[in-house]
């Protein structure tokens, strides 16, 4: 059996669109909140956590609804089309609200956009397994993740080129580009993907090979006390490294602007380096994990992340060596992501994979809700801790904050004793991109 790469790439246009949007959201929205509307860093953190709050509530809901949907366009496609169209339309209101300085319009438009994105995120992710036989879903997910990363890099490049320098730059070009890019991805998906036809073909292929595609029965078994302890420490580790990493990525555009003095979209090039380094390291990291194990690879990744954040904290101005540290951070984050979710699955009991996947996302999203608020408060009030009269002095604490949570995750990972014993070599290089984030 061979994966239909062309079909999977077409399905991946949805994930490209999603990842492009979130890069713009994480980078540009904090700048607008701070520079246009004068929103405090703490309150800005609350706003930036809103998408994860909505995700916890709405992703399971719309995912479940799409499971039970049956239209001539398919189960997932109606949600993808409707959600994308709404998101594209209201995304264009964001630069308009910024231009006329209407925070009410900005918040309303942003709220609608976030709900629209939540409406189709789960259906978009579920579309690939719907049209791909079980044995090929690992490779399929790898391609989807690669396309998502490419979408994120394209969006970061657009930010770097389209956001001008200055105190009050116009964000119209980057938002127009984002909306147009999402619309083009949707058109490409709709034109190339007949969901009902492809889903039926997948069922035929599975039946011909004797592959059972029916949902497994719940309740695969009970964890031993020792494995439960390992699983608890693994969840703690996941929570902690997301606390550190997400704080840096969420606040980085403001940090680069306020602390390093970078203007416009110049900050985006640093994040491009991190993402490119992560992509290039997926295959080596996967191969290393098959040799030394997932746990040791994750620990090495955590140490790289800690070192990168700690080193970046010493630079009061931007220099080219910071690209090197962010490349280290990208490699470290790839080492963590490639191996952490498989460890969760390894500890699950067959039919309980979905339940344990839910634990993974609940913990990671909870961290991404808490850390923008907590780190935002630190940036806003940190000058008091440091005894400084400069209201922006607290920004110096961002990278130490990230390094602290990264090293704490190192400590908790030392107590993880399970989930590593059955690590096997991937069937092909592309499977090393099979991660969940």
Does residue 1 form part of some domain?
A: no
Helix (H, G, I), strand (E, B) or coil at 84: helix
Is 266 found in the same domain as 162? no
Does residue 216 form part of some domain?
A: no
What are the mean pLDDT values of the chain's consecutive 10-residue runs (437 residues total)?
A: 87 94 95 94 92 86 87 94 98 97 97 95 86 77 83 95 88 97 97 94 84 49 83 96 96 94 94 93 83 92 98 95 97 89 75 68 91 95 94 96 98 93 56 60
Is 332 found in the same domain as 198? no
d(C-alpha 210, C-alpha 312), whole Å: 54
Residue 19 near residue 155 (C-beta atoms within 8 A):
yes
Domain C-terminal end among 210, 236, 253: 210
**Token pair for residue 212?**
């059972």
Give the CA diameter of the chain: 72
Q: What is the per-residue pLDDT for 351? A: 45
Q: What is the per-residue pLDDT for 212? A: 57
Cα–Cα distances in Å, from 125 out to 15, 18, 188, 189, 300? 7, 10, 16, 13, 29
d(C-alpha 280, C-alpha 129), whole Å: 25
Is 248 found in the same domain as 152? no
Is 242 found in the same domain as 197? no
CATH number at residue 67: 1.20.1250.20
Does residue 391 form part of some domain?
A: yes
Does residue 218 form part of some domain?
A: no
Is 435 found in the same domain as 382? yes
Q: What is the pTM of this model?
A: 0.82
CB neighbours of residue 411 within 10 Å: 13
Q: What is the per-residue pLDDT for 434? A: 65
Does residue 227 form part of some domain?
A: yes
Q: How far is CA 252 from the centre of its chain?
A: 15
What sections of 68-211 are H helices per DSSP? 77-91, 93-100, 103-130, 137-162, 172-192, 195-208
Is 230 found in the same domain as 175? no
Is 241 found in the same domain as 178? no
DSSP letters spanning 93-132 = HHHHHHHHT-HHHHHHHHHHHHHHHHHHHHHHHHHHHHTS
**Token pair for residue 39?**
């929103």
| CA-based end-to-end distance of the chain | 27
Domain C-terminal end among 210, 238, 273: 210
CB neighbours of residue 59 within 10 Å: 19
For 270-296, b/e burial (b = at least 16 CB within 10 A) is bbbbbbbbbbebbbebbebbeeebbbb
d(C-alpha 271, C-alpha 275), whole Å: 6
Does residue 396 form part of some domain?
A: yes
Domain C-terminal end among 210, 239, 272: 210
Give the range of the structural domain holding residue 320, as residue numbers without chain letter: 223-437
Does residue 287 form part of some domain?
A: yes
Is 304 found in the same domain as 256? yes
Q: What is the per-residue pLDDT for 428? A: 65
Is 427 found in the same domain as 340? yes
Is 101 found in the same domain as 247? no
d(C-alpha 270, C-alpha 274), whole Å: 7
Q: What is the per-residue pLDDT for 24? A: 96
Residue 412 near residue 236 (C-beta atoms within 8 A):
yes
Q: Label each residue of the chain as H, E or C.
A: CCCCHHHHHHHCHHHHHHHHHHHHHHHHHHHHHHHHCCCCHHHHHHHHHHHHHHHHHHHHHHHHHHHCCCCCCCCCHHHHHHHHHHHHHHHCHHHHHHHHCCHHHHHHHHHHHHHHHHHHHHHHHHHHHHCCCHHHHHHHHHHHHHHHHHHHHHHHHHHHHHCCCCCCCCCHHHHHHHHHHHHHHHHHHHHHCCHHHHHHHHHHHHHHCCCCCCCCCCCCCCCCHHHHHHHHHHHHHHHHHHHHHHHHHHHHHHHHHHCCCCCCCCCHHHHHHHHHHHHHHHHHHHHHHHHHCHHHHHHHHHHHHHHHHHHHCCCCCCCCHHHHHHHHHHHHHHHHHHHHHHHHHHHCCHHHHHHHHHHHHHHHHHHHHHHHHHHHHHHHHHHHHCCCCCCCHHHHHHHHHHHHHHHHHHHHHCCCCCCCCCCCCCCCHHHHHCCCC
Helix (H, G, I), strand (E, B) or coil at 422: coil
Does residue 215 form part of some domain?
A: no
Is 399 found in the same domain as 299? yes
Is 73 found in the same domain as 205? yes
User: How many domains are there within the chain?
Assistant: 2
Q: What is the per-residue pLDDT for 216? A: 41
d(C-alpha 338, C-alpha 341), whole Å: 7
């Amino acid at each position: 059996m061979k994966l239909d790469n062309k079909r999977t790439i077409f399905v991946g246009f949805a994930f490209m669109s999603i990842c492009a949007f979130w890069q713009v959201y994480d980078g540009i929205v904090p700048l607008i909140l701070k520079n246009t509307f004068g929103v405090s860093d703490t309150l800005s953190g609350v706003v930036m956590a809103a998408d994860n709050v909505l995700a916890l509530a709405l992703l399971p809901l719309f995912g479940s609804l799409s499971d039970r949907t049956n239209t001539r366009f398919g189960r997932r496609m109606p949600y993808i089309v409707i959600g994308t169209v709404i998101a594209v339309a209201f995304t264009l209101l964001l630069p308009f609200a910024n231009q006329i300085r209407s925070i009410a319009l900005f918040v309303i438009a942003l709220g609608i956009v976030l709900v629209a994105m939540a409406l189709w995120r789960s259906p978009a992710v579920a579309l690939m397994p719907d049209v791909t036989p079980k044995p090929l879903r690992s490779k399929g997910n790898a391609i989807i993740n690669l396309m998502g990363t490419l979408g994120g890099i394209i969006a970061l490049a657009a930010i770097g080129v389209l956001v001008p320098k200055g105190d009050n730059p116009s964000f119209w070009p980057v938002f127009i580009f984002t909306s147009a890019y999402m619309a083009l991805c949707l058109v490409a998906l709709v034109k190339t993907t007949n969901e009902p036809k492809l889903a039926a073909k997948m069922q035929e292929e599975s039946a011909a090979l004797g592959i059972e595609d029916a949902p497994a029965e719940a309740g695969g078994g009970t964890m031993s006390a020792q494995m439960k302890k390992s699983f608890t420490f693994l969840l703690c580790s996941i929570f902690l490294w997301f606390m550190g990493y997400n704080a840096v990525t969420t606040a980085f555009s403001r940090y680069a602007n306020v602390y390093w003095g970078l203007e416009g979209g110049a900050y985006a090039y640093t994040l491009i380096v991190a993402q490119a380094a992560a992509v290039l390291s997926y295959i080596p990291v996967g191969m290393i994990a098959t040799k030394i194990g997932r746990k040791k690879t994750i620990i090495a990744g955590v140490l790289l992340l800690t070192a990168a954040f700690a080193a970046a904290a010493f630079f009061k101005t931007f220099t080219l060596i910071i690209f090197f540290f962010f490349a280290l951070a990208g490699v470290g984050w790839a080492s963590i992501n490639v191996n952490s979710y498989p460890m969760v699955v390894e500890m699950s009991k067959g039919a309980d994979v979905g339940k344990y996947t839910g634990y993974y996302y609940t913990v990671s999203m909870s961290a991404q809700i808490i850390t923008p608020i907590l780190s935002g408060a630190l940036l806003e009030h940190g000058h008091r801790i440091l005894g400084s009269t400069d209201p922006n002095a607290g920004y110096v604490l961002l990278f130490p904050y990230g390094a602290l949570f990264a090293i704490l995750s190192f400590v908790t990972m030392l107590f993880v004793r399970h989930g590593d014993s059955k690590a096997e070599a991937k069937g092909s290089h592309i499977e090393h991109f099979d991660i969940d984030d």
